[in-house]
Amino acid sequence: MAELDYEGFWNETLVQLRNDLGEEEFGGWFSEVKYLRAGNDSIVIGLPSKFHCDKVKSRYQSAINVILKNLSGREITLEIERMTDTEPEPEKKEAVSVNTSKKDNIPVEKTPKIKEKREKHPQMQDNFTFDRYVFGETYSLAGNAAIAISRNPGKAYNPYLIFGGVGLGKTHLMQAIGNYIHDNSDKKVIYTTSENFLNEYVQAISEGKMNLFKNKFRYTDVLLIDDIQFFQDKDKIQEELFHTFNALFDSKKQLVFTCDRPVNELKKFSERIISRFGLGFIVDLQPPKYEERCAILRAEVELRKAEIPNEVIDLISKNISSNVRDLKSALNTLIGYTELMGKPVTLEIAQQNLKNIFNAPRHANLSMDNIIRGTADYFGLTPNDLKGKKRSSNIVFARQLAMYIGRELTEYSTTEIGQDFGGKDHTTVMYSIEKIKGKLLTDSTLEMTIESLKRSIKDFSAKH
């Protein structure tokens, strides 16, 4: 069969993939694919990076092989190569001058220049890359959008806002975008925390150097600002952020932000800035699921070249569901044990060394449903009493305590907590939390009640 027919099969395969995956996912992984050649029973395609090759192999190669077989009626194997690995070495020649115009003789070097690797970005961690980011169901949308942004900054998903609780990988994903763009282009990338942005702003005002400040942040290609919730209640810096945002957005420069909560929960935050976030793409990073927790730990074990049994990875994954940071912290404890003691980690050793971590409130795998049911059981009520609209004092008090404990022991936002309480809005949850905080100042017995209730909820959760 002629090679041209193989290319036709490949083109039809791309059509089917686009229909199956949708425009967004297809564009994220196949927009830069190149048909390279064909063998007797194979098609070879090229992709721009090792990371890209690995991800397409793991996610799509099997499905593509099935499509190719259905189209051709025979087994055709897809092979994937990194395009830079398939390009021939440039032939070494002496530089010569050529006449590029009738007016001027400008020396032009014929020998292609090999692009030198850029130095490490001074503000970003070089280990925060896509290769080190575990893509699972929970993180797939955020990760795919980040990759699309990295390859075409300013073209789509602009601005990009990532929000979620602590330790879920917001900064990792943001810096992976920055590192990829920095390493694969000559674009200028600025990464800063909101606190540093504010400090530079204050310093510029005090030293009379506002023009330098504005030029730095308004004439970059990519601006990454971490933890924008720090700008709450700060009108002047919000004003500066607004104008910086507009200058970059109008110039089609890429903006990426992180936040620890939904933007509609930001207190005293400019409505016009919040509306600007709505122009782009917003993703919510949730705590990883069990399978993803296992994958994250296995990837870290492989990277660290450590020897941790699968049963220990299973133990950690089942007992810590809060965030990625806490998972890695527990793993580091065990790796430290093996390095210091010179002994392998067993299930018994892991249980002994991690028991205090597992017993910490935020690692108790508490769901809002169990908190509500456990609270209702403690007070002799029903879950519907707490979720409903009854206003009797005993029900209101129990409901407020459940909301307070839910905010304290979980990573759920006030909006998410409100939804679990029968669709109440976040202001009701915030009011309840503040109400309990106020009572703690005047009622010396309330703290003991709360601690007793927490233990009761944990016991209830363990049994259910």
- The whole-number pLDDT of residue 257 equals 96
Residue 88 reports pLDDT greater than 60: no
Q: Give all domains of the chain, ordered by start, each with its CATH number.
A: 3-85 (3.30.300.180), 130-285 (3.40.50.300), 290-363 (1.10.8.60), 368-463 (1.10.1750.10)
pTM of the model: 0.56
Q: Per-residue pLDDT for 463 more than 80?
A: no
What pLDDT does residue 291 have?
87
pLDDT given at position 361: 52
Ramachandran assignment for 227, one of left (phi > 0), alpha (psi -120 to 50 degrees), beta (any other): left
- Looking at residues 165-173, what average pLDDT do you find? 86
Question: What Rg value do the Cα atoms of the chain yield, rounded?
Answer: 27
Query: For residue range 92-105, what is the model confidence (pLDDT) as tens digits?
Result: 333 333 333 333 33
412 pLDDT more than 90: no
- Average pLDDT over the chain reads 83
Distance between CA atoms of residues 376 and 386, nearest Å: 7
Token code pair at residue 174:
């943001």
State the pLDDT at residue 18: 83
Rounded CA-CA distance 305/270 in Å is 48
**Residue 49 confidence (pLDDT):** 76
pLDDT of residue 462: 61
pLDDT at 403 > cutoff 60: yes
Distance (Å, whole) CA 452 – CA 455: 5
Sheet holding 34-38, edge to edge: 34-38, 42-47, 77-82
250 vs 98, higher pLDDT: 250
pLDDT in tens, 339-376: 888 888 899 999 888 887 776 655 445 678 889 989 99
Q: Which of 251, 231, 129 lies closest to 188, judged by CA?
A: 251
Cis peptide before 288 (omega within 30 of 0): no
Check residue 429 and give its pLDDT: 92
Average confidence (pLDDT) over 25-49: 84
Write the CB contacts of 441 (distance below 8 Å, at least 6 apart in sequence).
Answer: none
